[in-house]
């Protein structure tokens, strides 16, 4: 554009417009090119649109693929990050309350209590039984082979969790429609056994995996397998292969053979179901499966498997006849009274004669199933002890599986006439003799008029005959003569701890007692007049044999005067030779007493020889149910004879332990001298036996 000339000074209008000729509109047809048309201004509020660029021609779609690949990569990385965050959160959440895995060797379990008979046979066990902890190299190699072949063949190749094994188990279970195979490794099972509960939930499974990984990092494979084999539960209260081998085969895990190892490995699936004690046939079939697994895993060949299956049948455990469970329950119920053994694994060495115990239980069961059932007697109990109070056999019922109530120790029943020896003993100590005569005739005490079992009265009879034939009126007259208080004191001296009625009905045994305490009291009559406490334990050791408790002493000295005891032997022998207890006669001297309560609700026979004391009770748990005229001289005396015949087998006949009485002794001296010389012992006995707390301890351990 041309620069306009400068306006001269003094020129006219300053606002006069000058136009550049180039800016003027050309007339049409002037031949010059018109300027390009101007674009209209964009609408208000909108930005002008960019003109669209022409699309690049497609070249086989490679550009799109690269874009989608990048997107998938980004999305995958993002998803992986979030999954990682989620897994880390889950792990952190479940790891918060993990058990203290650094204290894996601190076991929490019930102490084991094993009961052994005099012969050393184990007849009962309580708590958790652990064997000797063995290193893997100390165990029979067949054990590890059987377990690995059956439970975890990839044990040495996985890192605590086996994805291949898990996938295989999942496939097998889906195909079967139910759980057939587990996917847990031995390391996972060890983690569960050591630290966790058997609950089937997500938390437990996650924690199981976490601890399995920790175990694999912390221990070698051999250590993990050894820990597992020492801790795993194998049925019948046994933990670890050593305890199980001893329980089922009576051998150490060091000496287990191929077949026995297969039996143990088979228990891992279901210890109770495949226990050779519970179901020998199921155990045999499961063992066959384990042997087949060992062949597949290459540990043994087929010929070996076939051979051991043939010979192994003889190795299956023959379940012994259960015995002594009432006996063991009685001991176990009070074992915690001793601080020396509390919380420890112990072996209780009892006084039980296992052969006699089995005989007693079998005879009682046979009696109750046959003659007892016909006579409407449904239950019975038997106690056999040595005169020093050591219990050799005890059963509290005809069938432990049907009823665990111990009628020998827990049952309180009226003893009937079997209580009369305490009345007669008191009279003997007061100066009476067996040849003294007493009138057998009706007697009335207030509104009470006791009669005899036969309904007849014999007139004047000797005390010997009165006790032999269990005459009630004479016993009542004697109580009235000596006083109920003295009779109670006599019973206390000899070992009766139950409450006794302080009236004349005491003569007929109306106060309830247990069979065990009555048998204990009779022991003083059998051993020469010395008060004893019944006991079932001789000593207690730990599993290694270290003595933790040893019974020492026991008893309260002489509690019956020699003269009075000699007279009691005279009269109580007549009960068996010519009186109501004839059914109990043996091939040796016997003394005893029958007992029958009103309406035939209880029937007893109590008696002793020079070597044993025994008591038998029969009746019904429901006191309202009457037996069909069962008396103490009937079924109880018959059972007593069977039991005592077995107890004395092989023993020579010996006279009763009747003390020698000086020829110059008089009835007065029998009381005065004895009371003066033994008052302190009798007092101690009354206190010791009568105490409710002490009775629990003394009745069991003689302490």
- Which residues are designated catalytic? 151, 417
The answer to whether the beta carbons of residues 533 and 689 sit under 8 Å apart is: yes
Q: In residues, how long is the chain?
A: 703
Structure-token pair, residue 173: 């279970």
Structure-token pair, residue 664: 């110059």
Question: Cα separations (Å) of 702 from 257, 351, 680, 694?
Answer: 44, 12, 19, 10
Cβ neighbours of 223 (radius 10 Å) = 13
* DSSP secondary structure letter of residue 554: -
Q: Phi, psi (5° rounding) for residue 293?
A: -65, -40
Structure-token pair, residue 485: 């208080």
Helix, strand and coil in the chain, % to nearest 5: 45, 10, 45
As a whole number of angstroms, the distance between CA 339 and CA 343 comes to: 9
Give the 3-state secondary structure of 255-320. Answer: HCCHHHHHHHHHHCCCCCCCCCCCCHHHHHHHHHHHHHHHHHCCCCCHHHHHHHHHHHHHHCCCCC
Phi-psi region of 61 (alpha: psi -120 to 50; beta: other; left: phi over 0): left
Cα angle vertex 64, ends 59, 66, to 5°? 105
What are 550-554's contacts with CB under 8 Å, separation 24+? 551/701, 551/702, 551/703, 552/703, 553/702, 554/388, 554/389, 554/698, 554/702, 554/703
């Amino acid at each position: 554009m041309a620069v306009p000339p400068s306006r001269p000074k003094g020129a006219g209008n300053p606002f006069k417009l000058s136009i550049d000729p180039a800016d003027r509109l050309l007339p049409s047809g002037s031949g010059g090119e018109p300027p390009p048309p101007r674009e209209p201004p964009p609408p208000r509020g909108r930005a002008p649109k960019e003109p669209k660029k022409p699309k690049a021609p497609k070249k086989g779609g490679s550009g799109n693929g690269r874009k989608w690949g990048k997107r998938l990569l980004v999305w995958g990385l993002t998803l992986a990050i979030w999954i990682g965050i989620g897994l880390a959160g889950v792990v952190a959440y479940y790891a918060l309350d993990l058990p203290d895995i650094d204290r894996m060797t601190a076991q929490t379990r019930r102490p084991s209590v094993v009961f052994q008979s005099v012969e050393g046979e184990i007849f009962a066990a309580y708590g958790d039984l652990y064997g000797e902890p063995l290193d893997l190299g100390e165990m029979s190699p067949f054990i590890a082979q059987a377990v690995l072949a059956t439970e975890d063949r990839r044990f040495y190749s996985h890192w605590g969790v086996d994805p291949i094994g898990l996938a295989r188990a999942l496939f097998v279970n889906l195909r079967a429609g139910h759980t057939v195979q587990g996917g847990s490794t031995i390391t996972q099972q060890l983690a569960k056994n050591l630290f966790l509960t058997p609950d089937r939930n997500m938390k437990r499974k996650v924690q199981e995996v976490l601890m399995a990984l920790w175990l694999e990092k912390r221990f070698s494979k051999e250590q993990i397998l050894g820990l597992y084999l020492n801790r795993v539960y194998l049925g019948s209260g046994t933990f670890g292969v050593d305890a199980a081998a001893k329980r089922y085969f009576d051998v150490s895990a060091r000496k287990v053979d191929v077949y026995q190892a297969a039996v143990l490995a088979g228990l891992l699936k279901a210890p109770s179901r495949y226990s050779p004690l519970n179901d020998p046939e199921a155990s045999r079939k499961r063992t066959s499966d384990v042997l087949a697994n060992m062949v597949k895993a290459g540990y043994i060949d087929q010929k070996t498997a076939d051979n051991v299956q043939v010979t192994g049948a003889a190795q299956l455990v023959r379940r012994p006849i259960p015995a002594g469970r009432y006996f063991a329950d009685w001991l176990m119920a009070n074992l915690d009274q001793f601080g020396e053994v509390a919380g420890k694994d112990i072996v209780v060495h009892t006084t039980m004669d296992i052969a006699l115990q089995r005989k007693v239980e079998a005879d009682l069961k046979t009696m109750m199933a046959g003659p007892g059932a016909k006579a409407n007697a449904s239950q019975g109990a038997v106690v056999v002890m040595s005169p020093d109070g050591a219990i050799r056999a005890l059963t509290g019922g005809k069938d432990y599986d049907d009823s665990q109530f111990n009628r020998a120790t827990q049952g309180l029943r009226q003893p009937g006439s079997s209580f009369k020896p305490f009345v007669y003993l008191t009279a003997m100590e007061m100066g009476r003799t067996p040849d003294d005569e007493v009138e057998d005739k009706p007697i009335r005490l207030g509104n009470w008029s006791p009669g005899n079992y036969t309904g007849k009265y014999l007139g004047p009879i000797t005390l010997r005959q009165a006790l032999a034939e269990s005459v009630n009126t004479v016993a009542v007259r004697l109580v009235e003569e000596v006083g109920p208080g003295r009779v109670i004191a006599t019973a206390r001296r000899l070992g009766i701890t139950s409450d006794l009625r302080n009236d004349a009905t005491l003569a007929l045994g109306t106060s309830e007692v247990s069979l065990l305490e009555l048998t204990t009291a009779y022991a003083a009559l059998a051993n020469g007049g010395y008060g004893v406490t019944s006991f079932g334990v001789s000593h207690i050791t730990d599993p290694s044999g270290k003595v933790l408790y040893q019974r020492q002493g026991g008893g309260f000295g002489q509690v019956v005067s020699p003269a009075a005891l000699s007279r009691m032997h005279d009269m109580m022998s007549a009960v068996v030779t010519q009186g109501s207890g004839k059914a109990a006669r043996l091939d040796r001297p016997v003394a005893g007493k029958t007992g029958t309560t009103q309406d035939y609700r209880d029937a007893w026979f109590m008696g002793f020889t020079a070597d044993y004391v025994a008591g038998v009770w029969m009746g019904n748990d429901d006191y309202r149910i009457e037996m069909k005229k069962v008396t103490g001289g009937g079924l109880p005396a018959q059972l007593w004879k069977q039991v005592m015949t077995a107890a004395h087998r092989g023993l020579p006949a010996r006279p009763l332990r009747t003390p020698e009485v000086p020829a110059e002794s008089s009835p007065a001296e029998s009381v005065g001298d004895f009371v003066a010389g033994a008052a302190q012992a009798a007092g101690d006995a009354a206190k010791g036996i009568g105490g409710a707390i002490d009775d629990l301890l003394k009745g069991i351990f003689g302490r």
